[in-house]
Amino acid sequence: MKAMILAAGRGERMRPLTDTTPKPLLKVNDKSLIEYHIEKLKNVGITELVINHAWLGNLIEERLGDGKKYGVHISYSPEQPGGLETAGGIRHALHLLGDEPFAVVNGDVYCELDYGELVRTELGDALGCLYLTDNPDFHPEGDFSIRDGYLASDRELTFSGIAVYRPEAFRDIPDERAKLKPYFDRWIAERQLLARYLQAYWCDVGTPERLGSLDLRLREMNKAEA
User: HEC string of the chain?
Assistant: CEEEEEECCCCHHHCCHHHCCCHHHCEECCEEHHHHHHHHHHHCCCCEEEEEECCCHHHHHHHHCCCHHHCCEEEEEECCCCCCHHHHHHHHCHHHHCCCCEEEEECCEEECCCCHHHHHCCCCCCCEEEEEECCCCCCCCCCEEEECCEEEEEEEEEEEEEEEECHHHCCCCCCCCCCCHHHHHHHHHCCCEEEEECCCCEEECCCHHHHHHHHHHHHHHHHHHC
Across the 226 residues of the chain, what is the mean pLDDT of every consecutive 10-residue run? 94 82 93 97 98 93 96 96 93 96 96 96 97 96 97 97 97 92 96 96 93 92 79
**Which tens digit of pLDDT belongs to each residue from 163-190?**
999 999 999 998 899 999 999 999 999 9
What's residue 10's pLDDT? 79
The confidence score (pLDDT) of residue 122 equals: 95
pTM of structure: 0.95
What is the reported pLDDT for 13? 81
- What is the architecture of the domain spanning 2-225? Alpha-Beta Complex (3.90)
Q: Quick one: which of 48, 43, 30, 34 has its CA closest to 6?
A: 34
Residue 58 is predicted with a pLDDT of 93
The pLDDT score that the predictor gives to residue 18 is 84
Q: What pLDDT is stored for residue 226 in this prediction?
A: 66
172 CB neighbour count, 10 Å cutoff: 8
Q: What is the pLDDT of residue 192?
A: 97
